[in-house]
Chains A and B, each alone.
Chain A
């Protein structure tokens, strides 16, 4: 099969760019640990409380160390359960100091959900039977909306919470 000279140049340039992109992605993923979440940790969707992280008293924001936090969340149609405050009202807003390392752990007892801290890389599918988790450093202050970004039913768009990263 004959290839025109210009076509060869074009394809070498094109394929070269693709290889360069892949090398950059691979370097980030395998050497800097920026893989998308892929832990494969399973859980019984009919009995998520059997896992310590998703027992009622452990939901929401927990400080584990200086600048280290864990946020445990149960996503269900159509709510993010972040635990209850002192008055017994459901928590819909959490505050985290800037520069903290935060581990988000999310699971669901029902259907597939999304979990996106909008405008950040904290973006995970939440599927029954699995624990989705991602550790990140929140180093930009501001208010972020957590949205369910996978269709979960008629109330899908009513599923949200907010995270405030303060100075």
Chain B
């Protein structure tokens, strides 16, 4: 361990910069798109659970899979990416600042992403791209669908480059000081996103676009799937890490405590950078064309990514206990009872943390090599990520919104909205418990995910499944009520809440905290290890896939009703 410590001047520890009006407008623009997406995507989810109950058919000849494509793309790609970039920018603006020039480039990122999103949305709405958000070849969507997606990714890169520039300039102006914790975390997450999205960019630009335009006759299906999942798993960590940022560096402030350990928080983020990318094969465990030993090697790496989550879980509960005891609440669980349960900024993310316990355990099951065959592509998987991303991540994002939006719009979180937020969290929890629970059980009984209502010839198994689909319809309806509540809260906080100043809560370290070691700032080392792990996990199997490729596939557009 390097011994040389950084000079920590107390002023930088508490430094938090004011956010100007033009900055707020930029950050809020990303968040507007996120909440519009939440509403549309949620409505699509409601339609899906209705159709799957067997008691409802979509009007006007709308296809189930078109609705499902909208749901996946708008919630999985649009809502998440926009909210995260808006949140990233807010954190950077608050901790390291943004220049006018950087802000202009950030607007460019926003508009490139919006143009891409609109292009993709139009093709989906015209029924030309019902390929779901994974767009597996050789199903062929309209070329504009892929070009739009590429623009969204490129726009997000521009946003990431701005973030790196912000940190770089701050470092230059503050020689010898450690990067503020939140800026460090944003840097890691944008790095993770950039390295991962190179995979999806490669398959979209080199494979899908030429092939869908007719310049290439065939596509290598397994290569495209492998590149997609090289991106697809770090994608979920790109969603999760902003939630962890709030847990590590915001929640302690809200409950009146301090950061448990600055170094530990940085360490867990570095580990996420290492282990969330070289693991894509665990989404491809039951595929015919990938060597079993390499699948297993990536399973081992996948399990490594549980370690930073274990560290996070410890830090959270340690913070809760230390804070509670310091406030004088003794006993084995006295500190727990006195957490600020009535403060939605704490309550919503806390429920999110709890959901990650079954969510993470389910994830280990999914990644367990041969055990994957029990649940692969069953609706268990849908239940799994509705716990992780749709509960853990979403409730934390909502928890962030309660203070971030009024802070940016110059309004306040009133008691009434706070109470409504608590109700929203409870509604979400009840709805998700019913829906996700039913999905998990139904999946264990073998029912497929991504499927419209079907009686499959009416076997005994199927009758059992349909009962659980009724439960999902009930849970999904409750969740939609939760979405309406959240959108109402958003509109209130953005436009109607009383003017005032809402706190941007950033926790501080303990007075006597051990200084953070200097080697945490060694970006070359972190990137080097990340790249080495990726090359180790992918080079041999990828060469093997290409060398043993079957003839490529021509485009198929008729199966998705696009001919």
Given A92-B457, A111-B559, A157-B451, decide whether A14 and B306 contact each other with a Cβ distance below 8 A.
yes
Complex interface: stretch among A36-44, A63-71, A83-91, A95-103: A36-44
| A29 & B292 in contact (Cβ 8 Å cutoff) | yes
| A46 & B371 in contact (Cβ 8 Å cutoff) | no
**Chain A residues in 8 Å Cβ range of B286:** 36-37, 123-125
In the complex, A151→B551 CA distance in Å?
A: 22
| B373 & A121 in contact (Cβ 8 Å cutoff) | yes
| B1 & A29 in contact (Cβ 8 Å cutoff) | no
**Cβ-based interface call for B63 (8 A):** yes
| B370 & A7 in contact (Cβ 8 Å cutoff) | no
Q: Mark contacts of A22-55 with chain B using CB atoms, 8 A cut-off: 1 yes-contact digit, 0 otherwise.
A: 1001101110001111111111111000000000
In the complex, A157→B48 CA distance in Å?
A: 14
**Cβ-based interface call for A165 (8 A):** no
**Chain A residues in 8 Å Cβ range of B289:** 38, 40, 42, 127, 129-130
User: What is the number of residues of chain A that contact chain B, defined by CB distance less than 8 Å?
Assistant: 74
Complex interface: stretch among B130-138, B181-189, B244-252, B395-403: B130-138
**Cβ-based interface call for B143 (8 A):** no
User: Within residues 237 to 296 of chain B, which ones have a CB less than 8 A from any CB in chain A?
Assistant: 261, 263-264, 267, 284-292, 295-296
Give B448's nearest chain A residue, CB to CB. Answer: A149
Give B371's nearest chain A residue, CB to CB. Answer: A25
User: Within residues 442 to 489 of chain B, which ones have a CB less than 8 A from any CB in chain A?
Assistant: 445-454, 456-457, 459-462
Q: Mark contacts of B301-317 with chain A using CB atoms, 8 A cut-off: 1 yes-contact digit, 0 otherwise.
A: 00110110011001000
| B374 & A123 in contact (Cβ 8 Å cutoff) | yes
**Chain A residues in 8 Å Cβ range of B261:** 2, 4
**Chain B residues in 8 Å Cβ range of A155:** 559
Which one, A21, A38, A145, A154, contacts B63 given CB within 8 A?
A154
In the complex, A121→B445 CA distance in Å?
A: 11
| B314 & A7 in contact (Cβ 8 Å cutoff) | yes
Given A36-B373, A92-B457, A150-B450, decide whether A111 and B290 contact each other with a Cβ distance below 8 A.
no
| B461 & A143 in contact (Cβ 8 Å cutoff) | yes
**Chain B residues in 8 Å Cβ range of A77:** 556, 559
Between A and B, 17 residue pairs with Cβ closer than 8 Å are A1-B517, A3-B264, A4-B318, A7-B311, A21-B303, A35-B370, A36-B295, A39-B288, A42-B289, A43-B550, A121-B373, A125-B288, A145-B462, A149-B448, A149-B450, A153-B560, A157-B456
5 closest residue pairs by CB, A with B: A153-B559, A129-B550, A118-B446, A149-B448, A157-B454
